[in-house]
Amino acid sequence: MRNLLVAAASAVALLFPSALYAQRPGTLISATPAAGAPAGMQVWSIHYWSPDEQGRMQDLTGMVAAPSGTAPRSARPVLAWTHGTWGVARQCAPSLSPSFFDSNPGTAPTTFTATPALDAVASGYVVVAPDYPGLGSAGVHPYLGGVPAARSTLDAIRAAQAIPGAMAGKRFALWGASQGGHAALWTAQLAASYAPELSLVGVAAAAPPTDLIANLRGGDDPSIRAFLTAFTAYSWSGYYGAPLASLGKQQTQMIITRLAQNNCVGIDSKPKLGAMIGMVMLRNRLTGVDLGTIQPWAGIARTNSVDPAAITVPMLVAQNPKDVIVSPAVTRTYARAACAAGKTVEWIDIVGKGHPTSAQDSAAATLQWISDRFAGKIAPSDCGSI
């Protein structure tokens, strides 16, 4: 019987030589040309394998963009874009959104609003934009989950290297805003241990949540804070098993669930009337509720906060002092702690509308900083003045 099983396995390997290895982390499953790609670039919608925190392989999704035309002889530098909050439901994946390629008309060069990293394609970069687990793919999205975001990003970079037309190299930089700033910093923390064959040159984060307990408590807009608490509570309940019952009675749980399941976020879009009503109701019902003092919520928040001492590459941290969603004081505290740990940190005070446009408003300076890191220039430090 054993010999029959061995023979059968050998036959499968001959017929399908990749079958035994297809689910390795970072293996590309498919790359399909994406509709609506802007002029000057080729874009693929990708599926790839990446493990969850229990080691089970997931079919994840994302986008890869590269310059069009003749491929260069040498590999292109990679910029991994980790997106901000688009929602926590499967349908909220950036790769599924018609807004993915949105840009400011009439600008030269084109300025992309929903995915600012696409500006780098014109300079010869490959841009890798993972959706994260549970967005565009099966399963629960682990909102602000550090390890899942980092693994999905690093495996998307690996998968991009298997697209012949992309010519993606192993040297990469990270850039993210809001939720994506948190994801970028976490990816930088895990890069050397999880994907040692890749070479990280630097990480840029705009308005990143860092100390999640402080971030959940902070923010000057209580309605938006309630809305994001709904995303967090729904996600952590489904992914980590935290009980919604510890946050309120059945109607409170229903409001949390409906806000999370029925709302995707756009940069310039206003919440629907039902969402606005739900935010006000939830805001009132969560009065006096502090996730930082309730277990297991507090423990989950601590586990997924960013360690200011864990990143070994240069950092760029950008923050709008008028931000009412991610507390500027919390971000500054993180940057100062990283400096105290001996890290190299450049700080940008963003001038702009506020939180939603943090990446756009700091894009020019960020892309120049990233270019300098690939060029091997000494990274500047603002640690004496943050």
What tens digit of pLDDT does each residue of 248-289 get? 999 999 999 999 999 998 766 666 766 778 778 888 888 888
Burial of 263 (0-12, 13-18, 19+ CB in 10 A): buried
What was the pLDDT predicted at 127? 98
Instruction: Note whether residue 18 is domain-resident.
Output: no
Instruction: Note whether residue 70 is domain-resident.
Output: yes
Q: What share of the chain is helix, strand, coil (3-state, %, to 5)?
A: 40, 20, 40
DSSP structure class, residue 95: G
pLDDT in tens, 128-179: 999 999 999 999 999 999 999 999 999 999 999 999 999 999 999 999 999 9
96 shares a domain with 75: yes
Q: Which residues, other chains included, contact 212 with Cβ-Cβ below 8 Å and sequence gap of 6+? A: 144, 301, 302, 304, 305
Burial of 267 (0-12, 13-18, 19+ CB in 10 A): middle
Report how far residue 233's alpha carbon sits from residue 265's, in angstroms, rounded to the nearest whole number: 17
What was the pLDDT predicted at 198? 98
What was the pLDDT predicted at 73? 82
Residue 191: give its domain's CATH number. Answer: 3.40.50.1820
221 shares a domain with 201: no
Structure tokens at 149: 């975001």
Torsion angle of the four alpha carbons 142, 146, 147, 148, in this order, in degrees rounded to the nearest 10: 30
319 shares a domain with 170: yes
272 shares a domain with 242: yes
Instruction: Note whether residue 383 is domain-resident.
Output: no
Query: What is the pTM (predicted TM-score) of this model?
Result: 0.92
pLDDT in tens, 50-67: 999 999 999 999 999 999
Give the domain-ending residue among 261, 280, 301: 301
Instruction: Note whether residue 4 is domain-resident.
Output: no
Give the domain-ending residue among 244, 277, 301: 301
268 shares a domain with 143: no
Split into its structural domains, the chain has a count of 2
Look at the block and give the residue holding tokens 């600012």: 116
Instruction: Note whether residue 258 is domain-resident.
Output: yes
Instruction: Note whether residue 8 is domain-resident.
Output: no
pLDDT in tens, 175-215: 999 999 999 999 999 999 999 999 999 999 999 999 999 99
Cis omega (within 30 of 0) on the bond before 296? yes
Report how far residue 349's alpha carbon sits from residue 96's, in angstroms, rounded to the nearest whole number: 32
| Domain enclosing residue 254, as ranges | 216-301
245 shares a domain with 284: yes
